[in-house]
Structure 1
């Protein structure tokens, strides 16, 4: 039976993992494959959300995956995850990815990502998660930024109306792009 906490600190569910990047993790250009990093991101998001909720968690969405710097074979990748936001059954897990050249000690920021995770009960239904205790300005800032990203996402969904391809206005919007319409 899972413990019943009404609220948990951000620190209580933080997870950090480190892994040495091997040649088997690389793509055709000799850099670490983005898909491999995404797989690790999903794993740490699951661990962090499950630790916070005390429940099995599934990935509902992945927001903002910007690959800022390439990761090289032989570098040590460290991912740090924390719950930035909680709703009734959902959590936004923020993850920072850094890679370190273990010979020189040089560390670079490679990625920051945000995963929305949903807690499930034994029957596969959503289940309530503990609230979040925010203990400093950084945690409040992350919570507010998560709210802002969710609001922006709602606005984008509402503005995604079906375009009328027969209208001249819609087709004129395409004139600045490197395309050819052939139908």
Structure 2
């Protein structure tokens, strides 16, 4: 498979923030923003792999600035790094107040997507290469982020075993 530049997967999505999208403070629900982030990351990853994809991991969603009702959010996503079947996608979210034109980066995120074959099994993806200085900066740290993801996944499996479906919530039941 021929490697592709990061920019080939660039995906940009705009969305209004309406009253039902907001909490009691008049700001965008975090979960609503996370849904937008997952969607734009999936589009970028699909564009790169030209395969169906699923979300394997959300490394982080860092909320940096509130998004208010009436604002527009602009999400920009692109593949920064690939492994055999997985792709790391960087997502930047900008809030824009349309009347004043004021814009701020309100969130950043790293999402890992996995490409699937016709039987929904992980399948190979093309490599990716950075061109701009910013892409190179993200690409250089990607292997380290992948190691952190693997370690976190191991810990999550331990937590799942420890707090499995039969975990006895004896202490919690005393609170009733």
TM-score by length of structure 2 reads 0.83
Query: In structure 2, which of residues 56, 59, 63 is the aligned counterpart of residue 67 of structure 1?
Result: 63
Task: Assess, with a 3 A threshold, how the Cα gap between structure 1 residues 77 and 28 changes in structure 2: closer, same or farther.
Answer: same
Q: Which sections of structure 2, spanning at least 5 residues, go unmatched?
A: 160-173
Aligned counterparts, 1:46-61, within 5 A: 46-61=42-57
1:130 aligns with 2:126: yes
Give yes or no for contact 2:5–2:130 (8 Å, CA) kept in 1.
Answer: yes
CA distance in 1, matches of 2:153, 2:73: 34
Query: In structure 2, which of residues 140, 147, 158 is the aligned counterpart of residue 144 of structure 1?
Result: 140
Give the secondary structure class of the aligned counterpart of 1:64: strand
Report deviation, 1:130. Answer: 0.6
Query: In structure 2, which of residues 34, 39, 43 is the aligned counterpart of residue 38 of structure 1?
Result: 34
The residue that corresponds to 1:119 in the other structure is: 115
CA distance in 1, matches of 2:100, 2:49: 39
Q: Which sections of structure 1, spanning at least 5 residues, go unmatched?
A: 163-181
Task: Assess, with a 3 A threshold, how the Cα gap between structure 1 residues 122 and 39 changes in structure 2: closer, same or farther.
Answer: same
Greater fraction helix = 2
RMSD: 1.9
Query: In structure 2, which of residues 6, 11, 32 is the aligned counterpart of residue 10 of structure 1?
Result: 6
Aligned counterparts, 1:88-99, within 5 A: 88-99=84-95
CA distance in 2, matches of 1:115, 1:159: 18
TM-score by length of structure 1 reads 0.80
Report deviation, 1:52. Answer: 0.2
CA distance in 2, matches of 1:125, 1:154: 19
Report deviation, 1:19. Answer: 0.7
Report deviation, 1:128. Answer: 0.5
The structure number with the bigger radius of gyration is 1
